[in-house]
């Protein structure tokens, strides 16, 4: 025999509407915490110096002067790189007065800037 199965709904009680819980005011963020994080980053970067890679054009005679100064430094027992010589030269130039700097630059041979043309 076949039984008739009648689907029935489950009886549920109506749920009471939940009232949203009152939200607590967000605690103000500590302003001290952010500087501490920055301080940590600064400590990491203290040892690192940002370096910039650049290229420039100079006459062969000036390039030869760099080689002569490097040889002079080697005789004095100091191994020096070309970039170190250029940076040392900048330190010396920075100490000049405006008139001395103007005279020093006026004494330079004027050259065409940029990369040489490919042949």
Per the domain annotation, does 67 fall within a domain?
yes
* Residue 113 in domain: no
In a domain, 65, yes or no: yes
Across the chain, mean pLDDT equals: 79
Structure tokens at 9: 């709904």
User: pLDDT value at position 83?
Assistant: 94
How much of the chain, in percent, has pLDDT values that exceed 90? 42
Cα–Cα distance measured from residue 84 to residue 44, given in angstroms and rounded to the nearest whole number: 24
In a domain, 53, yes or no: no
**Residue 27 domain-assigned?**
no
Number of domains in the chain: 1
Tens-digit pLDDT profile for residues 24-82? 666 555 555 555 555 555 556 567 889 898 888 889 999 999 999 999 999 999 999 99
- Report if residue 89 sits inside a domain: yes
57, 111 in Cβ contact below 8 A?
yes
Domain that holds residue 93: 60-106
């Amino acid at each position: 025999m076949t039984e008739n199965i009648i689907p029935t709904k489950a009886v549920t009680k109506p749920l009471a509407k939940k009232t949203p819980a009152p939200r607590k005011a967000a605690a103000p963020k500590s302003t001290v915490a952010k500087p501490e994080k920055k301080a940590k980053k600064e400590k990491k970067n203290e040892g690192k110096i940002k370096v910039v890679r650049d290229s420039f054009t100079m006459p062969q005679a000036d390039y030869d002067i760099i080689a002569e100064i490097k040889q002079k430094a080697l005789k004095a027992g100091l191994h020096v790189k070309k970039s170190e010589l250029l940076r040392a030269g900048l330190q010396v130039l920075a100490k000049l007065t405006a008139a001395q700097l103007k005279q020093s630059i006026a004494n330079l041979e004027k050259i065409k800037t940029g990369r040489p043309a490919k042949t």
